[in-house]
Amino acid sequence: MGTRELGLPERVPATDGLPERVTIWEVGPRDGLQNEKSTVPVTVKLEFLDRLAAAGLTTLEATSFVHPKWVPQLADAEELLAGLNRRDGVRYPVLVPNERGLDRALAAGVSHIAVFGSATETFAKRNLNSSLDDQFAMFEPVVTRARAEGLDVRGYLSMCFGDPWEGPVSPEQVVRVGKRLLELGCSQLSLGDTIGVATAGQVERLVDTFTGQGIGVDALAVHFHDTYGQALTNTLAALRRGVSTVDSSAGGLGGCPYAESATGNLATEDLVWFLDGLGIEHGADLDALVSASAWMAERLGRPSPSRVVRALAG
Amino acid sequence: MGTRELGLPERVPATDGLPERVTIWEVGPRDGLQNEKSTVPVTVKLEFLDRLAAAGLTTLEATSFVHPKWVPQLADAEELLAGLNRRDGVRYPVLVPNERGLDRALAAGVSHIAVFGSATETFAKRNLNSSLDDQFAMFEPVVTRARAEGLDVRGYLSMCFGDPWEGPVSPEQVVRVGKRLLELGCSQLSLGDTIGVATAGQVERLVDTFTGQGIGVDALAVHFHDTYGQALTNTLAALRRGVSTVDSSAGGLGGCPYAESATGNLATEDLVWFLDGLGIEHGADLDALVSASAWMAERLGRPSPSRVVRALAG
């Protein structure tokens, strides 16, 4: 008999202050599939998204309106959004890098967008070929127009804990950049450990630095990579500080091309095993998620890096 | 430039009550290599052990005196112990299943042994073909004689959080069996999550149940498997409760044949990244460990499952 039929994981709440409910911000269909070498057919993406929604996930980052020259894997953004089986109570945010991307997003009728920025000067320079000031000059018209159109805007911040050229990143630097994004009109910051180097004390310190400057935990989400095996431990540290939105990727799809290994996003299934064990509500069904990710892994022709998917679908 | 040259992980202590120092109980040479399909030459084992000792690990579980019929991979126990380059300040405990094993261990001049028991009736029956009472009848002369000879004895308890036939395991059951091992003369219990199903609240509850019955955290060690991605998070939960001995396996070698996937022990390098980030002392050098595990992975002909080893040696 399998662990699931035996009632595992057992539900045992932690004794100290974890949130009663966590919002899982699923990034697999966008952040995961944008890194695939061969383009995934739009019909497969649509079925994957619908399987994840059917599994109970309520925030599905669907695609990106980045220029197809940079990310050909997501050149089908319009076709994908047109074909989406929109379910009640599910948000389908999309990534928008610039005004041209916003035009496309508005034409496609999206109601929730995200912009993607760097917390450090060096990564801004290397990844976006701009300074942090240039980055904000680019964001400003995007966020302002999006807000005027009634859209909700999330701000991603990458390299919040370590930068592949600078090394450690100070929490003050991250809060400075994060504040500018919130002042522009972002409703939430997703604090990314893009190269996966953070440990639990850093996570606590960064959240404390935000709250110490009057920015509440409700404005914060965390986005951890498992490159050094720390993603879920860092999540526990963030939850203990009251953060209740966690980014993850179904099946552990995706990763950062700047990281030193292929190990990427926190896997949604590993997060859900953890949340289920602690009795924290999230609305998703673990077995349906495992089944969706195992299906996707078959389409991609390689095993999922999620330990839970490997254990249960193996 | 690599993350290590850039000073990562950054050292940022957690704000609440973690131990200042952790003892890493390295199980890779025994628990890891006993599960290898093809037998590793004793010269390779000896070099692996010496590389791990040179990297600063101070407790190296070297081998097992189980009958060679059951674990042919460790049939070279005498030869290995005779060839060991014993370093000052390093312990080389060995696993001893019965009196015949103890005879062999004593003849080989060991000073530290471990016995391996089940926390549940079903696993005792399935794995050892005995009841829990039979298990203690078998342990009693081993522990008594070992103690009389001046040996230190550790007691492993498997299936402390979930059993592959019973499902959830009550903490009272684990404490009942653990107490009997301590009363026999064991100096420490290693609480094993043999099938990797535990989550953080269960860990807190089990440690609390022990301390509530007057057994201090110094008598406890934790032994987590990463089958469901929870090993390091569970370690954080245990450290928060004051446990300061953590079992891990260099390179993530090994696993449990009863688990639903091949994902096995917590990798020593992933643990060390975590401890280094939190500024918790342990005495080992991360880069030397990565190098030892990468060397061993090459001997075994497959990549290490440790994320840190993959990231840094890749």
Strand order in the sheet with A245-248: A59-60, A23-26, A245-248, A220-224, A188-193, A152-158, A112-118, A94-95, A63-64
Q: Which of B3, B14, B197 is the closest to A197 by Cβ?
A: B3
CA angle A204, A206, A207 (to 5 degrees): 65
Contact across the interface for B227 and A307, Cβ inside 8 Å: yes
Chain A: nearest CA to B90, how far in angstroms? 27
The verdict on residue B273 lying in a domain is yes
Place of tokens 């926190």: A266
Q: Taking the alpha carbons of B293, B299, B305, B311 in that order, is the dihedral positive or negative?
A: positive
Among the listed ranges A107-121, B34-48, B101-115, which one has the minimum average pLDDT value?
B34-48
The two tokens of residue A121 are 């000067």
Residue B175: Cβ within 10 Å count:
20
Q: State the total domains in chain B.
A: 1
The verdict on residue B10 lying in a domain is no
| Of A127, A74, A73, A121, residue with least CA distance to A96 | A74
Contact across the interface for B273 and A165, Cβ inside 8 Å: no
pLDDT at A199 over 60: yes
pLDDT tier, A259 (very low <50, low <70, confident <90, very high otherwise): very low
Q: Which of B229, B235, B259 is the closest to A273 by Cβ?
A: B229
The verdict on residue A77 lying in a domain is yes
B274 part of contact set with chain A, CB < 8 Å: yes
Of A260 and B59, more confident = B59
B259 part of contact set with chain A, CB < 8 Å: yes
B251 part of contact set with chain A, CB < 8 Å: no
Question: Do the beta carbons of residue B58 and residue B84 sit within 8 Å?
Answer: no
Among the listed ranges A79-88, A105-114, A254-263, B197-206, which one has the minimum average pLDDT value?
A254-263
Of A37 and B26, more confident = B26
Catalytic residue among A52, A66, A256, A308: A256
The verdict on residue A27 lying in a domain is yes
User: Which regions of B45-178 does DSSP assign to beta strands (E)?
Assistant: 59-60, 63-64, 94-95, 112-118, 152-158, 162-163, 167-168
The verdict on residue B289 lying in a domain is yes
Collapsing DSSP states into helix, strand and coil, what is residue B3?
coil
The verdict on residue B11 lying in a domain is no
Residue B123: Cβ within 10 Å count:
22
- Phi, psi angles (nearest 5°) of residue B38: -100, 145
pLDDT at A260 over 80: no
Terminal Cα-to-Cα distance of chain A (whole angstroms): 14
Contact across the interface for A233 and B237, Cβ inside 8 Å: no
CATH number at residue A269: 3.20.20.70
Cα radius of gyration rounded to whole Å, chain B: 18
Of A224 and A1, more confident = A224
Q: Which pLDDT score, from 0 to 100, does residue A138 have? A: 93
Of B263 and B137, more confident = B137
Give the residue numbers spanning the domain of B175.
18-313
With residue A162 as reference, give the H or E element that holds it: strand A162-163
Q: Which pLDDT score, from 0 to 100, does residue A39 have? A: 83
C-alpha span between A211 and A216 (Å, rounded) = 5
Instruction: Please state the rounded mean pLDDT for residues A294-306.
Output: 92
- Phi, psi angles (nearest 5°) of residue B162: -165, 150
| Of A272, A273, A255, residue with least CA distance to A264 | A255
Contact across the interface for A278 and B8, Cβ inside 8 Å: no
Among the listed ranges B30-44, B87-101, B171-185, which one has the minimum average pLDDT value?
B30-44
Of B257 and A174, more confident = A174
Burial class of residue A55 in the structure, from the number of CB atoms within 10 Å of its CB (0-12 exposed, 13-18 middle, 19+ buried): buried
Q: Give, to the nearest 10 degrees, the angle between helix A132-148 and helix A99-107.
A: 20
C-alpha span between A231 and B239 (Å, rounded) = 17
Contact across the interface for B310 and A261, Cβ inside 8 Å: yes
The verdict on residue A9 lying in a domain is no
Q: Which pLDDT score, from 0 to 100, does residue A1 have? A: 67
Cα nearest neighbour of B312 on chain A: A260
The residue among A11, A174, A193, A230 with the most chain B CBs within 10 A of its CB, best to mutate, is A230
ipTM of the complex as predicted: 0.96
CA angle A156, A158, A160 (to 5 degrees): 115
Kindly report, residue by residue over B39-84, the tens digit of the pLDDT: 899 999 999 999 999 999 999 999 999 999 989 999 999 999 999 9
B20 part of contact set with chain A, CB < 8 Å: no
pLDDT at B308 over 60: yes
A255 conformational bin, left if phi > 0, alpha if psi -120 to 50, beta if neither: left
At position B223, the amino acid (one-letter code) is H
Instruction: Please state the rounded mean pLDDT for residues B288-301.
Output: 96
Q: Which pLDDT score, from 0 to 100, does residue B263 have? A: 63
Burial class of residue B295 in the structure, from the number of CB atoms within 10 Å of its CB (0-12 exposed, 13-18 middle, 19+ buried): middle
Q: Which pLDDT score, from 0 to 100, does residue B261 have? A: 45
The two tokens of residue B217 are 């955290």
Q: Which pLDDT score, from 0 to 100, does residue A129 have? A: 85
pLDDT at B37 over 90: no
Q: Which pLDDT score, from 0 to 100, does residue A60 have? A: 98
The verdict on residue A144 lying in a domain is yes
A267 part of contact set with chain B, CB < 8 Å: yes
